[in-house]
Structures are given as C-alpha cells and as structure tokens.
C-alpha cells in the first residue's frame, strides 16, 4: 500500500466523520429551535 493511498483513505474517513458530526449537530440545532419556538408559543 502506498503512502498516498493511506493518506487518501484517512482523509476520506475524516471527511465522512466530519460530515456525520455536522449532520448530527444540524439535527440537534433544528430540534432545539423547534422546542424553543414551541415554548414561546405556549408562553
């Protein structure tokens, strides 16, 4: 295995992990916004 192939694989996995983390963060923010808007409507 060449060093370049290892680097590409590592970068690909890192980007995938980063994308997953961002997706979960976006979902969390969206859920929090729904919760807060529901609270403001109730209040």
pLDDT in tens, 1-43: 799 999 999 999 999 999 999 999 999 998 888 888 776 666 5
- The whole domain housing 3 covers 1-43
Write a three-state SS string for the chain. CCHHHHHHHHHHHHHHHHHHHHHHHHHHHHHHHHHHHHHHHHC
In whole angstroms, what is the distance from residue 19 CA to residue 8 CA?
Answer: 16
Count up the domains in the chain and report the number.
Answer: 1
Q: So what's the pLDDT on residue 36?
A: 84
Q: So what's the pLDDT on residue 5?
A: 94
Q: So what's the pLDDT on residue 34?
A: 86
Q: So what's the pLDDT on residue 35?
A: 84
């Amino acid at each position: 295995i060449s060093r370049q192939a290892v680097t590409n694989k590592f970068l690909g996995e890192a980007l995938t992990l980063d994308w997953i983390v961002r997706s979960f963060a976006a979902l969390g923010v969206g859920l929090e916004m729904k919760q807060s808007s529901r609270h403001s409507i109730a209040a």
